[in-house]
Structure 1
Amino acid sequence: MKGTHMLTLFHAPMSRSTRLVTLVDELSARDAVNIRIVNVQRRDGQGAVDPDNPHPEKKVPVLDHDGTVITESIAIAIHLCDLFPKAAMMPEVGTPERGACLQWLAWNAGVVEPVLVAKLSGIEHPGLQSSFRGWDEVIGRLETALDGSDWLMGDRFTVADIIVHSSFSWMPDLLPDHAGIQDWHNRMMARPATQRAWQDDQALIKKML
């Protein structure tokens, strides 16, 4: 990363910000990014709103970059990858591979997560199906991408794998008995950065809840 920047990632253990902690590790940026632990209100009623959290809705993740507050996982992930290009977690700007990687990130935020929330909430509606399609289509797209490929971008591990896999890391039972997807999941869970993030989160959550 060129120059000196103050980077603080606000993180609540066992939450969506875990994937950003994992990314920071994969970027070899743990010394450059201060990870600050905050509390959040959990779905089960545990936790609490943290006044030190700069997110306008008191959620995570949040990245403070030299006083500028950046929210949304995808925006933070792209920004971090651009700040630490030597890690090569995203293809270079202007390449078709960059566009393909951005496609996976946008798909996760714009399709996978809404479809997953609807599935877990037991919500079915023609408007949802026409806009986002459904769970079968989500899984079908993963099967196509991972049929004979180690990663979503073929033979290259990227930030797309971290982001798209993140939901399944919590709910592996949602994954089908498809060799390519199961191998991808196991490969993701075995990565040292993933293991470190989970171990740290488990220790932190015991102290907070």
Structure 2
Amino acid sequence: MLTLYHSPRSRSTRVVALLHELNALDTVAIERVAIPRQDGSGQRDPRNPHPEGKVPFLVHDGVAVRESSAIMLHLADLFPEAGLNIPAGHPQRGAYFGWFAWYAGVVEPVMVLEAVGLSHPALAATFRDGAAMRQRLREALAEGPFLFGAQFTAADLLLHSPYAWFGKPGDPVLDAWVDRCMSRPGARFALEFDAESQTPSA
């Protein structure tokens, strides 16, 4: 049994988009829960088993899977017929894993630091900066409309998501990529799903 704990308009929205792309909505139960929001609204939901009350949180046959990158890798591998993963044994499998690790270790920290206006040479040396991050994406997109050429993968879905949230970066190549990802059926479904959802009070 697979259960995703989700709160509308949060980091778990991209996992809902992935489930639609994977044609897995009939297989994975989505439990809507409340979460504390940065604007002070919301609250921790006792129905959410995440130890910190966060989302996304996936439970697979009693085993907890935390963090967006791990959850999306796991789901894309569970439903390979959708073609959103790079399968085991493929020469690009390691590069595919690399995008998920880079998102968690670089992209999210850099974008959060930029959003709150924090900068320091030590931070830039450790995480790079937004310009270097965007340059890496531009280079990766030089050979196709997506990170792996013509193939749209869960990596595209994850990596474009902060730009869908914070706004496009203002670079023609990256903006076009974000638009392509946002026009996917999964992204459109997730927006509609969240718009129709009422976050339950805890």
TM-score range, shorter chain: over 0.9
1:66, 1:123 → 2: CA distance? 41
1:59 corresponds to: 54
Q: In the alignment, which residue of structure 1 is the partner of 2:68?
A: 73
Q: Which of the residues 189, 197, 201 maps onto 1:204?
A: 197
- The residue number in structure 2 matching 1:3 is none
Specify the SS of the correspondent of 2:197. Answer: helix
1:41 — aligned with what?
36
Question: What secondary structure sits across from 2:88 in the alignment?
Answer: coil
- From 176, 181, 199, the counterpart of 1:188: 181
Question: 1:107-130 CA deviation, whole Å, 9 max, x = no partner?
Answer: 111100000111011111122111
Paired with 1:89 and 1:195, the residues of 2 have a C-alpha distance of: 17
Return the letter of the residue paired with 2:188: Q
Whose relative contact order is higher, 1 or 2, with alpha carbons under 8 Å and at least 6 apart? 2
Match of 1:145 in 2: 140
1:1-209 equivalence runs, <5 A? 6-173=1-168, 175-178=169-172, 180-205=173-198
Work out whether residues 22 and 197 of structure 1, in 8 Å CA contact, stay in contact via their aligned partners in 2: yes
SS in 1 for 2:105: helix
Structure 2: state its 5+ residue gaps: none
Classify 1:101/1:17 alpha carbon distance in 2 versus 1 (closer, same or farther; 3 Å).
same
Select between 41-50 and 140-149 the one with higher mean Cα deviation. 140-149
Give the TM-score taking structure 1 as reference length: 0.92
What percentage of aligned pairs have identical amino acids? 46
Preserved CA contact (<8 Å) 1:14 1:205: no
The amino acid that maps onto 1:182 is D
Structure 1 residue 207 displacement after superposition:
7.3
Q: The residue matched to 2:71 in structure 1 has which SS? A: helix
Quote the Cα distance in structure 1 between the aligned partners of 2:133 and 2:195.
29
Q: TM-score, normalised by structure 2?
A: 0.95
CA distance, structure 2, for counterparts of residue 60 and residue 51 of structure 1? 13
Q: Secondary structure at the match of 1:154?
A: coil
The total of aligned residue pairs comes to 201
- The residue identity in structure 1 corresponding to 2:93 is R
Output the aligned Cα RMSD. Answer: 1.4
